[in-house]
Amino acid sequence: MDIVVTADGSRTLYHAAVGENYHSKHGAEQESKHVFLKSGLQFFLTKDKVSKAAILEVGFGTGLNFILTAEYCMAHNIQLDYCGIEAYPLPLETISQLQYSDLVPENIGLDFQNAYPKALLQETVVNHNIQLQVAHTLVMDFNSSKQFDVIYFDAFAAVHQPEMWSEETLTHVTKFLKPGGVFVTYAITGNLKRAMKALGFTIEKAPGAPGKREMLRAIKL
């Protein structure tokens, strides 16, 4: 894994076996905040006027989406129940080299580093507002008794991992989303829109992060 400094100064990793960065070269931090935090969680909280949220992330990866979401929830007193699916978890040492703790208040970075190894094994309390689980499993083997408010779908691009964007995978993942829940991803393709509509979602084209004109947000009916 090679560390890559993206256009906004934040870091990501290049996954040579996949042939893609974990985050946008145009800015890892700004992509995460725009696609997942603003267009996903904040949209849900505004829509439903609630002070708690359960998030399922497909592709936990470096933990950037979690760390930035945790910062927002701590600042706004939101109770956060966060579950990430990750078939190939990164070592904490690798994640630490990305210096994401520099992007958030020190206590949040430390809380995440302390919780991450435990969260790979079981649901773990990060602090009084937040709990985290990183399900170390293939996405099609993931199961949960929980229903989630928001899905962050952050798999590698379909050109590199088409199986992650198949109707079978989307059907499996979205069964864990509550009615009225929000599915959000950085991508938008004709196949993805058709699949989500077939699953009973309303489709919204939202402005994309830098480097992408549009992205997809879908609401479960």
Considering the domain boundaries, does residue 5 fall inside one? no
φ, ψ for residue 209, nearest 5 deg: -70, 165
Considering the domain boundaries, does residue 7 fall inside one? no
Considering the domain boundaries, does residue 10 fall inside one? no
Question: How many independent structural domains does the chain possess?
Answer: 1
Q: Using alpha carbons, select from 43, 76, 78, 36 the residue that is nearest to residue 57.
A: 36
Looking at the DSSP assignment, which residues form a beta bridge with residue 39? none
- The domain that holds 117 is classified in CATH as 3.40.50.150
Considering the domain boundaries, does residue 62 fall inside one? yes
Considering the domain boundaries, does residue 207 fall inside one? yes
C-alpha 154 chain-centroid distance: 5
pLDDT value at position 117? 97
pLDDT value at position 170? 97
Considering the domain boundaries, does residue 104 fall inside one? yes
- Measured distance CA(52)–CA(60) in Å, rounded: 20
pLDDT value at position 48? 79
Stated as kind and residue range, the H or E segment containing 216 is: strand 214-220
pLDDT value at position 50? 87
- Measured distance CA(204)–CA(43) in Å, rounded: 12
pLDDT value at position 1? 82
pLDDT tens for 15-67 read 998 999 999 999 999 999 999 999 999 999 998 788 999 999 999 999 999 99
- Measured distance CA(32)–CA(127) in Å, rounded: 22
Considering the domain boundaries, does residue 21 fall inside one? no
- Measured distance CA(203)–CA(29) in Å, rounded: 25
* Residue range(s) defining the domain that contains residue 173: 26-220
Structure tokens of 30?
Answer: 């700004």
Structure tokens of 154?
Answer: 């952050």
pLDDT value at position 8? 95
**For the chain, what's the residue count?**
221
Considering the domain boundaries, does residue 8 fall inside one? no
Q: Using alpha carbons, select from 172, 80, 157, 77 the residue that is nearest to residue 119.
A: 80
| Residues lower than pLDDT 70 in the chain | none
170 DSSP 8-state letter: H
| Stated pTM of the model | 0.96
- Measured distance CA(110)–CA(125) in Å, rounded: 13
